[in-house]
């Protein structure tokens, strides 16, 4: 009944995901490929969390 007042945790994860991707893009532009790959891997892990959260809520 009061589910409209609950926050969506997937929304917070999506914000983190896009922030990591933006940081990775900036690192790639600077030529720091090692940091780019680490940030991309972290973004992938966040994406897996989002997809598992969406699958469990369905």
Q: What is the mean pLDDT of residues 16-29?
A: 98
Domain assignment present for residue 1? The answer is no
Tens of pLDDT, residues 32-53 = 999 999 999 999 999 999 999 8
- pLDDT value for 1: 53
> Does 12 score more than 70 pLDDT?
yes
Q: Could you give the number of structural domains in the chain? A: 1
Mean pLDDT over each residue of the chain, to the nearest integer:
91
C-beta atoms surrounding 53 within 10 Å: 14
CB-based burial label for 31 (10 Å; 0-12, 13-18, 19+): exposed
> Does 14 score more than 60 pLDDT?
yes
**Nearest residue to 14 (alpha-carbon basis) of 45, 54, 37, 46:** 46
Angle (nearest 5°) at CA 45 between 11 and 43: 70
Domain assignment present for residue 3? The answer is no
Domain assignment present for residue 17? The answer is yes
DSSP code, position 6 = S
- Which tokens go with 55? 């699958």
């Amino acid at each position: 009944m009061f589910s409209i007042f609950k926050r969506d945790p997937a929304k917070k994860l999506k914000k983190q995901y896009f922030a990591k991707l933006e940081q990775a893009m900036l690192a790639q532009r600077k030529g720091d490929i090692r940091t780019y790959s680490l940030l991309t891997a972290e973004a992938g892990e966040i994406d897996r969390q989002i997809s598992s959260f969406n699958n469990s809520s369905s």
